[in-house]
Amino acid sequence: MNRIGLEVTGHTITECTIQHTGYRFLSRARKLCKNTAIQIISLSLLGLCTIASPLSYASTQDRQQPINISADSASVNTKEGVSVYEGNAVMLQGSTRLQGDTIKVYTQNKEISHITALGKTNRAYFEEQQDEKKGKVKAWGRTIDYDIPSEHVELTHQAQLSQNGDLVKGENIAYSIKSGTVMAKGSDDKNKGAGRVQMVIQPRADDSDSSFQNLKE
């Protein structure tokens, strides 16, 4: 099966790769382009939560790595600044992974502004490694928007975020990679849990912090 890949260095598109069994074709991205009502949570326990560890050195290193995207097919619209990757699309940047049935890449001034992953068969998936002791941050949603400059991740519909056994679920979840802040919202649809946010906090030793801290009512 054909796989199309895009490599980005410093958030600037440099080249793309089309791979086929026994065949490899490399060209500049420019050449490819020519061819081709939410309710705030009512759960009194949780209004705002924070992932324990701030952005770590390892995570900072991720932002300095090239972005690689692969999929079964791709289309690029240079006029609109949008490229669409379909078929088990995967974005990798260091330890950061974004996966979905479709990935859309938006550019401004030849630099990537944000990436959106869409999940139809299964939910889209995001993960990154912060503090090795805390484990990976893992997140799911039917739509995942990853804003590159602000390092902000937005999970929409059937949203879920976990780290080290701690878990938060909601209709929408906003996660700041820089600060580790998580904001969850429920749905106003009674068929979707009546607007409730669910949270699980695992027991910790006396000297161990939960992955989610600073809860506010």
Is the whole model's pTM more than 0.85, yes or no? Answer: no
Q: Is 64 left (phi over 0), alpha (psi -120 to 50) or beta?
A: alpha
Q: Which residues contact 60 (CB under 8 A, 6 or more apart)?
A: none
What are the residue boundaries of the structural domains of the chain, listed by start? 37-216
Provide the greatest CA pair distance for the chain.
Answer: 60
CA atoms of 144 and 126, how far apart (whole Å): 8
* Structure-token pair, residue 177: 């990679």
CA atoms of 43 and 205, how far apart (whole Å): 26
pLDDT in single tens digits along all 217 residues of the chain = 566 666 665 555 544 444 433 333 233 333 333 333 223 333 323 333 444 444 444 456 777 789 999 999 999 999 999 999 999 999 999 889 999 999 999 999 888 999 999 999 999 999 998 767 778 999 999 999 999 999 999 999 999 999 988 999 999 999 998 888 899 999 877 665 557 899 998 887 655 565 555 333 2
Return the amino acid letter for 116: T
CA atoms of 87 and 70, how far apart (whole Å): 9
CA atoms of 90 and 144, how far apart (whole Å): 13
Q: Is 70 left (phi over 0), alpha (psi -120 to 50) or beta?
A: beta
How high is the pLDDT of residue 1?
A: 57
How high is the pLDDT of residue 202?
A: 85
The domain covering 37-216 belongs, at the CATH homologous superfamily level, to Lipopolysaccharide (LPS) transport protein A like domain (2.60.450.10)
How high is the pLDDT of residue 34?
A: 38
- In which residue are the tokens 């895009």 written? 6
83-88 own/partner pairs: CB under 8 Å, 24+ apart = 83/6, 83/107, 85/4, 85/6
- CA 14 from chain centre, in angstroms, equals 22
3-state SS record for 30-92: HHHHHHCCCEECCCCCCCEEEECCCCCHHHHHHHCCCEEEEECEEEEECCCCEEEEEEEEEEE
